């Protein structure tokens, strides 16, 4: 086969087209990665400038949302229209954004129904990308003419470059349209569902170009017109990403210079760490302390915080067995640069265990079992081994003389308590050792002074409930008053009143 034959030239041209498409796909992936990185930097710098100017996270968050208002409005409107077209229920709520300390727009103005399928959710989330790219292409094609772009890209003197830039910036509403394009471009791309590691990014950088190349080759084999359309779409997308990246770099330069001026003039400063903004006061508080004695407890607290991944990792106090109220406690050491000397008595007292309820009961029982000495009479009284028994809800029973006659109804007299309630329970040790006497009978002084003879005269086992004192018993027990002489009347005796012994016969 000749070296420059027709088939050889065709295969060579096909290989060049393949290499061009692969290079275009790789450049598109690099531009997308660079755009994502510059977008994150841009959001951080905008948030930082807002805080340096206002010194308030709430005001900074509101300014942050206002800065991207055109892009946010287009994105939320597109989501709502896409949900309507796909017959998905969507609810909207306009409210002030919550205070944030991260450079991230939480766009939750339009919320889809929870029962929406995953396919429809993905399709709706991609609609803002198509709308944003279309709007960006339309505005750029109107704002940036092809001849002006060629004049900017053509190498020449600085005078020619300055003239081209002046002609471009002096167009009607150039800066307004540039701001709208900037906000739409930074809000139309969907957010990454999860943070990607370096390996995943490298795998995507290799897998996506190969997938696009395979799809392009299949389209070229089926219909070359489809392959040309795909190639033109990728070139336009790469051009749009390049323009957005250049706009972001220009915004970073402006915001960086503004930050340096504000930090130099004012006393506030801030930086970002792990996506969150840390102010100057927070950095000073987070700096390690120079004193080693203070650094060690802080390091231990930090390591303990890192180890704790759940509330179940906390060492909570464990209660003791039943009857033991004190719980297990961890030893607490108080570090002091100059500890004061602790007396030995206080040390021994601190080393003693905390008494529980059973210990307290044993101690009280031991105290009651110790004999108590009466200082007045010098006699020792044995202590009670346990608690004093309590009398039941009834009147006490005592031994009583047997009835001398049938008319002696002492049980009926004792039950007549005058309507008074029964005696309340009392401790047995407070009861009198002397048996209760019957107030209905007046005993002599000799009988009261000889309890042994009285006990021998009584029949064992004969007991009755002791009556409560009442007014009736008090009246019966009193001495009878002698009548006055004037109250006595004497009558003469009649014949019938004279007793004759002979009448009996």
Residue 232 within any structural domain of the chain: yes
Q: What are the φ and ψ backbone dihedral angles of 16, each rounded to 5 degrees? A: -65, -40
Q: Mind giving me the DSSP string for 182-240?
A: HHHHTTSSPPPSS---HHHHHHHHHHHHHHHHHHHHHHHHH-HHHHHHHHHHHHHHHHH
Query: What was the pLDDT predicted at 148?
Result: 60
pLDDT at res. 473: 47
State the pLDDT at residue 200. 72
For residue 431, tell me if it sits in a domain: no
Phi first, then psi, for residue 407 (nearest 5°) are -80, -10
Blockwise average pLDDT, block size 10, the chain, 505 residues: 59 74 83 83 82 81 82 86 86 69 68 83 85 82 63 62 71 81 80 63 75 80 80 80 84 86 80 70 49 49 60 76 61 52 54 61 64 50 49 48 51 48 48 49 48 53 54 52 68 62 57
- Tell me, what's the pLDDT at 290? 45
* DSSP 3-state of 176: helix
Query: Does residue 373 belong to any structural domain of this protein?
Result: no
Taking CA 258 as the corner, what is the angle to CA 253 and CA 264, rounded to the nearest 5 degrees? 130
- Distances from the Cα of 130 to the Cα of 108, 225, 260, angstroms: 20, 22, 37
- Is 451 among the domain residues? no
Tokens representing 279 are 């102010």
- Number of separate helices (H) and strands (E) present in the chain: 17, 8
Q: What is the pTM of this model?
A: 0.47
Q: Which domain range does residue 149 map to?
A: 9-282
Number of domains in the chain: 1
CA–CA–CA angle 484, 488, 490 (5° rounding): 155
Asked if residue 203 belongs to a domain, the reply is: yes
232-to-181, 216, 227 alpha-carbon distances in Å = 22, 11, 9
273 is a domain residue: yes
**CA-closest candidate to residue 467, choices 458, 459, 476:** 476
Euclidean distance between CA atoms 129 and 35, whole angstroms: 14
Q: Which token pair is 332? A: 């607490």
Question: Does residue 401 sit within a domain?
Answer: no
Give exposure, 333-349, as e/b (b: 16+ Cβ within 10 Å): eeeeeeeeeeeeeeeee
Residue 120 lies in a domain: yes
Tokens of 296: 């060690």
CA 419 to mean position of chain CA atoms = 64
In terms of phi and psi (left: phi > 0; alpha: psi -120 to 50; beta: otherwise), the region of 418 is: left
| Cα torsion angle, 264, 268, 274, 276, sign | negative
How far is it, in rounded angstroms, from Cα 197 to Cα 11?
Answer: 39
Left, alpha or beta for 435 (phi > 0: left; psi -120 to 50: alpha)? beta
**Residue 493: CB atoms within 10 Å:** 8
- What length is written for the chain? 505
- The encoded tokens of residue 302 equal 């930090």
């Amino acid at each position: 086969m000749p070296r420059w034959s027709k088939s050889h030239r065709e295969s060579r041209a096909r290989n060049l087209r393949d290499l061009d498409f692969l290079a275009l796909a790789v450049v598109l992936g690099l531009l997308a990665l660079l755009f994502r990185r510059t977008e994150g930097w841009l959001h951080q710098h905008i948030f930082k400038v807002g805080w340096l100017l206002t010194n308030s996270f709430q005001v900074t968050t509101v300014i942050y949302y206002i800065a991207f208002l055109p892009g946010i409005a287009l994105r939320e409107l597109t989501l709502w229209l896409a949900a309507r077209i796909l017959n998905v229920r969507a609810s909207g709520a306009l409210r002030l954004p919550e205070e944030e300390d991260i450079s991230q727009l939480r766009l939750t103005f339009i919320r889809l129904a929870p029962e929406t399928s995953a396919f429809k959710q993905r399709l709706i989330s991609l609609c803002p990308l198509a709308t944003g790219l279309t709007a960006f292409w339309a505005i750029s094609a109107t704002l940036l003419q092809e001849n002006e772009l060629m004049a900017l890209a053509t190498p020449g003197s600085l005078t020619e470059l300055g003239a081209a830039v002046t002609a471009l910036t002096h167009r009607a509403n150039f800066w307004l349209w540039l701001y709208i394009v900037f906000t739409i471009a930074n809000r139309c791309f969907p957010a990454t569902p999860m943070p990607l590691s370096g390996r995943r990014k490298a795998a995507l950088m290799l897998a996506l170009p190969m997938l696009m190349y395979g799809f392009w080759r299949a389209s070229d084999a089926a219909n070359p017109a489809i392959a040309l359309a795909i190639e033109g779409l990728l070139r336009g997308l790469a051009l749009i990403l390049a323009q957005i990246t250049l706009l972001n770099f220009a915004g970073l330069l402006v915001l960086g210079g503004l930050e340096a001026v504000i930090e130099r003039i004012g006393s506030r400063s801030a930086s970002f760490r792990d996506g969150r903004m840390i102010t100057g006061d927070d950095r000073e508080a987070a700096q390690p302390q120079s004193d080693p004695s203070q650094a060690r407890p802080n390091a231990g607290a930090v390591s303990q915080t890192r180890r704790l991944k759940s509330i179940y990792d906390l060492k909570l106090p464990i209660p003791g067995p039943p009857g033991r109220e004190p719980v297990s406690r961890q030893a607490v050491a108080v570090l002091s640069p100059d500890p004061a000397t602790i007396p030995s008595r206080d040390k021994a007292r601190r080393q003693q265990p905390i008494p529980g309820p059973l210990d307290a009961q044993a101690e009280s029982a031991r105290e009651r079992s110790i004999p108590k000495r009466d200082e007045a009479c010098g006699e020792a009284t044995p202590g009670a081994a346990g608690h004093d028994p309590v009398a039941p809800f009834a009147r006490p029973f005592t031994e009583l003389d047997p009835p001398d006659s049938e008319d002696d109804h002492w049980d009926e007299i004792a039950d007549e308590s005058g309507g008074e309630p029964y005696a309340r329970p009392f401790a047995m040790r407070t009861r009198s050792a002397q048996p209760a006497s019957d107030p209905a009978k007046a005993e002599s002084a000799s009988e009261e002074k000889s309890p042994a003879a009285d006990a021998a005269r009584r029949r064992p086992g004969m007991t009755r409930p002791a009556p409560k004192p009442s007014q009736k018993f008090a009246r019966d027990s009193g001495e009878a008053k002698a009548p006055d002489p004037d109250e006595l009347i004497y009558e003469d005796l009649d014949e019938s009143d004279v007793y004759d012994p002979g009448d009996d016969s």
